[in-house]
Amino acid sequence: MNLDSIYTEIITEYSQSKHNERTIDSPTKSLKGHNPSCGDEINLEIKIKDNIIEDAAFTGVGCAISRASTSIMIDLIKGKRIKDALNLVDTFIGMIKREITNDEDLEILEDAMALKNISNLPARVKCAVLAWHTLKQALE
């Protein structure tokens, strides 16, 4: 396994940046996502107005991959319509599961494409998808 393809600059930067790590005042939705086998836990909060995700943030503990993935996701979905956010989630999970492999189809994921290679590291796939599954549950 090639570490360069996993712990990329995007991932390490996002994992260290705390700009999405906070709580939101009176969020529309607040949902816990957890990964018992790792002990990872995130609490995802989102504020929705007129079907648009106005704000999102998270708190919790997790590894670099799960933190980076969560933060990238939040940056990506803010300002998006719920429908579009859900589409992003499906695309992301499709990418990790290697069901969507065409780079053009993945482009909408922007920075989240940096997590593509995580599928080479089966033990860490759960870390990468935790936030996305949680978001999906929160929105559905």
Partner 1 sequence: MKQISVDDIRKDFPVLNQTINGRKLIYLDNAATTQKPNTVIKSIENYYKSFNGNPHRGAHYLSLKSTEIYETGRKKVANFINASSTREVIFTRNATESLNLLAYSYGMNFIEEGDEIVISIMEHHSNLIPWQQVAKSKKAVLKYLYTNEEGIITEEEIKKKITDKTKLVSIAHVSNALGTINPIKFIIDYAHSRDAKVILDAAQSLPHMKVNVKNLDVDFLVFSGHKMLAPLGIGVLYGKENLLEKIPPFLYGGDMIEYVYEDSTTFAELPHKLEAGTQNVAGVLGLTKAIDYLNEIGMDNIEEMESELTSYALEKLDSLSEIELYGFKGISNRGSVISFNVKDVHPHDTASILDAYGVAIRAGHHCAQPLMRYLGINATCRASFYFYNTKEEIDLFIESLKNVRKWLGYES
Q: Applying CB under 8 A, which residues contact partner 1?
A: 1-3, 6-7, 9, 12-13, 15-16, 36-40, 61-65, 121-124, 127
Q: Report, in Å, the least distance between residue 17 CB and partner 1.
A: 10
Nearer to partner 1, 71 or 91 (CB): 71
Q: Report, in Å, the least distance between residue 77 CB and partner 1.
A: 24
Q: Report, in Å, the least distance between residue 54 CB and partner 1.
A: 30
Q: Which of 2, 44, 10 is nearest to 115 (CA)?
A: 10
Residue with tokens 């995580």: 118
Tokens found for residue 123: 């033990």
Nearer to partner 1, 2 or 102 (CB): 2
Nearer to partner 1, 28 or 137 (CB): 137
CA distance 31 to 117: 27
Q: Report, in Å, the least distance between residue 67 CB and partner 1.
A: 8
Q: Which of 22, 73, 72, 29 is nearest to 47 (CA)?
A: 29
Q: Which of 56, 62, 61, 58 is nearest to 78 (CA)?
A: 56
Half-sphere exposure of 115 (CA within 13 A, CB side): 33
Nearer to partner 1, 41 or 90 (CB): 41
Amino acid type, 138: A
